[in-house]
Structure 1
Amino acid sequence: MLADPIKVQIPKSYETLPVKDIKLYHHPENAPEATPVIVLTLNRPKQGNAFTIDMMHAFELVYPMLDLDERVKCVVITGAGRMFCAGADLDIGFPSGGKRERLVDHRDPGGRLNLCIYRCRKPTIVALNGPAVGLGMTLGLSAAIRIAHASSKYGFVFARRGITMESNSSFFLPRLIGHSNALYLLTTGDVYRGDSKHFGSLFQEVIEEQPSVLKRALELATNIAEKTSVLAGFMNRELMWRGKQTAEETHLLDSAVLYHMFASKDCEEGVQSFLKKREPRFSATLEKDGLPFYPWYHEIDTGSRPRADTSEKAKL
C-alpha cells in the first residue's frame, strides 16, 4: 500500500527557493513569477558541478513543485561553467565507512534524483553543455531530450572506479541505445566525444559550439511549452516507459487511453487551433482531466507521489 502523498507548496518564484548546489531561473529571465520554462543549473562550477547529497535533496524539493505547478510546461537542466557534471564528488566519497544501512534499505541517491525527473509530468531537456561522467551522465537518462557538445568528453566510467551502474541506468541506458552500445560504454569505462558513434542516439542533438547547447535546449523547451499538451505528452511518455509486454496488450491499453483523450479539452483545443491557424492554449491537467484508470501499472513505493497543498498557509 502506498503511503499518503506529501503535500507540496507551490512557490510564486523558483528563483528565491532556499536550495543548495543548484540554482533555478525563470526563462525568459527576470520574470517575477514562474514561467513556462524553468532552468535548473547544477551550481558547483569550481568542483565541476560534482554531485552531492544536498543536490539530491534540492531535486527532491524542487521537482515535485515543477510537476504540480501548472504554470510550468518544460524544465531545462544544465551546468554552471564549462563542465556539465563530474559525477559524484570523490572528495566526499562513497558511503562505505561508519554505520551502514542494510543492503535492502539503501536507496541510491542518484536513483532518487533520477526518479524525480522520471516521475515529473513536465518534460525535462538536459543540456550537457560540457564534459560529464558517471552520475553526470545517468541523471539525464530519464529525461525526454538530451543535447550534447560535440567535442566534450562523456562517459560511463563506473568500472574504472570499481563500482557498478547507478541512478537506475541499467533500466534506462540499454532501452535508449541498445544493449550493444551500452555494453561497449560500460565495459570500456572510457570517455568519448559527444559525437562518438558509441553513444548511438543517446544525444538526440549534438551541437558544435559549446554556448549553443543551452541556447538550443531553451529553443526546444519554449517550442514544447507553447505548442504541446502537457497531459498528452506525459501520457505518451508513460505509454512508452510503462507500457505492456505484448502487441495485443498494448493495443488494448493504447485504445483505451486514446479514446479517453479524444474526449479531452486539449484534443478539442488542438483541433480548433489547427483549423483556425492559431497557437494552441492547452489547459488539461492530470488531476482534472486524466484517465480514470491511471496509473494502469502497479506503483512501487520508493517515495509516494506528491500532491499540491492548496491550504491558505501553503502560499509561499
Structure 2
Amino acid sequence: MSGSAIDLPPSYEALELTHIKLSHHPLGTPAVTPVIIITLNRPEKNNAFTPQMADSLTRAFNLFHIDPRVKAVVLTGTGKMFCAGSDLEIGFGDGGGKAVDFRDIGGRVALAMHRCHKPTIVALQGSAVGVGMTMTLPAAIRICHEKSKYGFVFTRRGLTIESCASYFLPRLVGYSKAMHLITTGGVYPPQSKYFGDLFTEVLPDATAVMPRALELAEDIAENTSPLASSMSRALMWEGANSPEEAHLLESRVFHHMVGQRDYKEGVGSFLEKRKPKFECDPREDCSPNFPWWTEANTLLESRVSKNSKL
C-alpha cells in the first residue's frame, strides 16, 4: 500500500465493491463489528474470479489492515460453490507486453491477505479450484465441506501456479504433497492425503461451514490480542533459518511484547477471571524490528511520461 491517507468507512455494509459483498457480524449491525464477512458474489458464474473481484478483495483487505475496529475476517462464497477459479471467458490477455510489467491478480489478493494484520478464516462452503484455492493459502484457517471437491488445476489449463502458491502451498502441506497436487492438476475430496492438514476442519454438512467459521472468528476477536496474533503469524511465515536464529528473533519480539499493555491485560483478565479487552494496534505497537525481513518491492516502476519535455 502507498503511504497516502485512506478514509475508513463508517459501515462496510454500505461499501459497494464489484463481485464481492461485505457484511458485519451480526448482519445489519449499524457500526463496524470486530468480525467482518467477505462474500464472493457471482453466483451465476460460480463465483469465478475476475480482475474486478481481485481489485475489490485487495481494497477490502487493505482497509481491514489499517482498521482497528476489525479483529478477524471470514471469507466465503455465495451459492453452492466457493469459487470456480478464474473466469476463462475473460481470460488473461494475449501475453503481450513485458513480463516485468505483469502482476498476476491472484497474487495481489494473496499478498493483501498475507500482509493484513487481521487473521482470515476461509469458509469453503462448496468446491473450489484454481485461484479459488490458491487465494486461500495465506489465510490462518480453512474450513470446508467433505462432499465438495478441491484442486489446483493449472497444469490442466496450460498454466503455472500463481497467487504466491509456490511459496505458501509447500509450506502448508509439504513439498511432496504439493508436487503431487500441482503436477497432476487433479481435483480431490478434502479428506485426500494429498491435502495433508490444509483444511483444519472438514464438516459433513455444507450449511455448518459458515457458522463454524464465524464461531472461530468470534472467539479470536473476543479472546486474542491482535498484536500478539499478528506478530506470531509473522514469526512463522517470515521466520529465521535456524533454531539459533529463531531463538534470537523470538526473544527480541517477546521482550517487546512483555512491555505492551496487551500483556498486562491478558494476565490481568486471566487472574481476575474476566474477558480481556485488548487495545494494542498491530500497526502502531508492533516490535521495533518489524518487519525483520526485507520486503520485495512489488510495485511497478515509474516511467517518464511521453509528454514530458526533457
Where does 1:7-18 land on structure 2 (aligned, <5 Å)?
7-18=5-16
The residue number in structure 1 matching 2:197 is 201
Pair 1:129-2:125 in alignment: yes
The residue number in structure 1 matching 2:59 is 61
SS of the aligned residue for 1:172 comes to helix
Deviations 1:164-205 (A, max 9, x none): 111000000000000111111111111111222221000011
Percent identity, aligned pairs only, is 53
The residue number in structure 1 matching 2:298 is 302
One of 239, 253, 258 as aligned partner of 2:235: 239
- Kept in 1, the 8 Å contact 2:239–2:246? The answer is yes
| Cα separation, 2, equivalents of 1:246 and 1:58 | 38
Stretches (4+) displaced over 3 A: none
| Cα separation, 2, equivalents of 1:86 and 1:5 | 35
Task: Give how far 1:26 is off.
Answer: 0.2
What is the letter of the counterpart of residue 45 of structure 2? Q
The residue number in structure 1 matching 2:84 is 86
- Kept in 2, the 8 Å contact 1:270–1:280? The answer is yes
The residue number in structure 2 matching 1:70 is 68
What is the letter of the counterpart of residue 278 of structure 2? F
One of 267, 270, 280 as aligned partner of 1:271: 267
| Cα separation, 2, equivalents of 1:107 and 1:89 | 17
| Cα separation, 2, equivalents of 1:163 and 1:246 | 35
In 2 relative to 1, CA 272–85 (structure 1 residues): closer, same or farther, beyond 3 Å?
Answer: same
Pair 1:191-2:187 in alignment: yes
| Cα separation, 1, equivalents of 2:283 and 2:197 | 34
The residue number in structure 1 matching 2:287 is 291
Deviations 1:8-47 (A, max 9, x none): 2111100111210000000011101110000000000010
Unmatched tracts of structure 1, length 5 or more = 305-316
Task: Give how far 1:303 is off.
Answer: 4.4
| Cα separation, 2, equivalents of 1:153 and 1:59 | 23
The residue number in structure 1 matching 2:306 is none
In 2 relative to 1, CA 244–31 (structure 1 residues): closer, same or farther, beyond 3 Å?
Answer: same
The residue number in structure 1 matching 2:255 is 259
In 2 relative to 1, CA 287–114 (structure 1 residues): closer, same or farther, beyond 3 Å?
Answer: closer
CA RMSD after TM alignment? 1.3
| Cα separation, 1, equivalents of 2:282 and 2:229 | 11
One of 100, 114, 117 as aligned partner of 1:118: 114
TM-score when normalising by structure 2: 0.94
Q: Which has the higher contact order (CA 8 A, sep 6+)?
A: 1
Pair 1:181-2:177 in alignment: yes
Deviations 1:194-224 (A, max 9, x none): 2222210000111110010111000000000
| Cα separation, 2, equivalents of 1:231 and 1:183 | 35
Task: Give how far 1:287 is off.
Answer: 3.6
| Cα separation, 1, equivalents of 2:299 and 2:217 | 28
- Kept in 2, the 8 Å contact 1:126–1:145? The answer is yes
The residue number in structure 1 matching 2:154 is 158
**274-283 or 181-190: which moved more?**
181-190
| Cα separation, 1, equivalents of 2:6 and 2:60 | 9
- Kept in 2, the 8 Å contact 1:26–1:37? The answer is yes
| Cα separation, 2, equivalents of 1:227 and 1:4 | 31
TM-score when normalising by structure 1: 0.93
What is the letter of the counterpart of residue 285 of structure 2? D
SS of the aligned residue for 2:100 comes to coil
Deviations 1:255-307 (A, max 9, x none): 00001101110000000000000000000013432212211111222249xxx
| Cα separation, 1, equivalents of 2:2 and 2:218 | 34
Aligned residues, how many?
300
One of 212, 218, 226 as aligned partner of 2:214: 218
- Kept in 2, the 8 Å contact 1:42–1:78? The answer is yes
Unmatched tracts of structure 2, length 5 or more = 301-310
The residue number in structure 2 matching 1:307 is none
**286-295 or 81-90: which moved more?**
286-295
Pair 1:139-2:135 in alignment: yes
| Cα separation, 2, equivalents of 1:264 and 1:117 | 25
What is the letter of the counterpart of residue 55 of structure 1? M
What is the letter of the counterpart of residue 3 of structure 2? P
Task: Give how far 1:4 is off.
Answer: 5.1
| Cα separation, 1, equivalents of 2:254 and 2:10 | 34
**280-289 or 233-242: which moved more?**
280-289
Task: Give how far 1:94 is off.
Answer: 2.1
SS of the aligned residue for 2:228 comes to helix
SS of the aligned residue for 1:23 comes to strand
